Amino acid sequence: MSQIQKLKELSFLVYGLGLSGLSVVKFFKNNDIKNFKVWDDKKINFLKNYKAKNLKQTLNHVDFIVLTPGISLLKNKNLRKFKKKIITDLDLFYLINNKCKTIVVTGTNGKSTTCKLLEHLLKKNSFKCSLGGNIGKPILDLKISNNNYVIIEASSFQLSHSKFICPDFAFFLNLTNDHLDWHGNKNNYLNSKLKIFRLQAKSHYAIVNKKLKN
């Protein structure tokens, strides 16, 4: 059974209809994944044909909640108790991708610059690659069929909710006090970043700023 076929047997709520949320809806439609609803706390009448009629009931019954990265569980009581169900567009990408290697870059500063440098170096050496995630296109909007590599800029917001991310190459650049109002404290912020390493195997690579080890 293909990974797409497995997704068709599950139910989803797309919570938040920003760029990443809309890319998830587009991904579901393009792959004939029909068992999904949408919800946005502000865009009340947007995609109303797919809107969940009863949010509380939908949250209870779906298999997964695909959450937009900007929503903090600290500030959303409706979602807090459904933490185990929450995934992101990055997770959907990893659940279906088995064709190319991935490079994930995170850190407080320098993510975009590092991603662009990696993209330049790979293309300069005749590797096909795409760049997306927190920079430019949402990850599910990328065309990856002929790529050798996909470079992903991952924010702490995305990583905080992610469960299936598993890079072939994971870069952790640096960490300074930032986004603490969203994460609650620095330890939560750090743990969100460390998720890029948790599912890596021995064949994968972890590149960490030496200063972070101290």
Per-residue pLDDT of 14-30, as tens digits, reads 999 989 999 999 999 99
Name the DSSP class of 148. S
- Residue 162: alpha-carbon gap to chain centroid: 6
* pLDDT for 36: 96
How far is the C-alpha of 167 from the C-alpha of 159, rounded, in Å? 12
SS3 (DSSP) at 19: helix
* pLDDT for 146: 76
- The pLDDT tens digits of the residues spanning 100-123 come to 899 999 998 899 999 999 999 999
Check pLDDT > 60 for residue 175: yes
Q: What is the DSSP string of 25-78?
A: HHHHHHTT---EEEE-SS-TTTTTTTB-S-HHHHHHH-SEEEE-TT--GGG-HH
- Read off the pLDDT of each residue in 123-130 and give the average, rounded to a whole number: 94
* pLDDT for 178: 67
- The pLDDT tens digits of the residues spanning 132-167 come to 998 878 999 998 877 789 999 998 888 988 999 999
- Read off the pLDDT of each residue in 46-54 and give the average, rounded to a whole number: 87
- Read off the pLDDT of each residue in 42-66 and give the average, rounded to a whole number: 89
Q: For 101-132, b where at least 16 C-beta lie within 10 A, e where not — what string?
A: bbbbbbbbeebeebbeebbeebeeeeeebbbb
Check pLDDT > 80 for residue 44: no
* pLDDT for 1: 61
CB 175 within 8 A of CB 193: yes
pLDDT band of residue 214 (cuts 50, 70, 90) is low
| Higher-scoring residue by pLDDT: 42, 102 | 102
CA end-to-end span of the chain? 45
Average pLDDT value for the chain? 89
pLDDT band of residue 206 (cuts 50, 70, 90) is very high
Check pLDDT > 70 for residue 182: no
* pLDDT for 180: 66
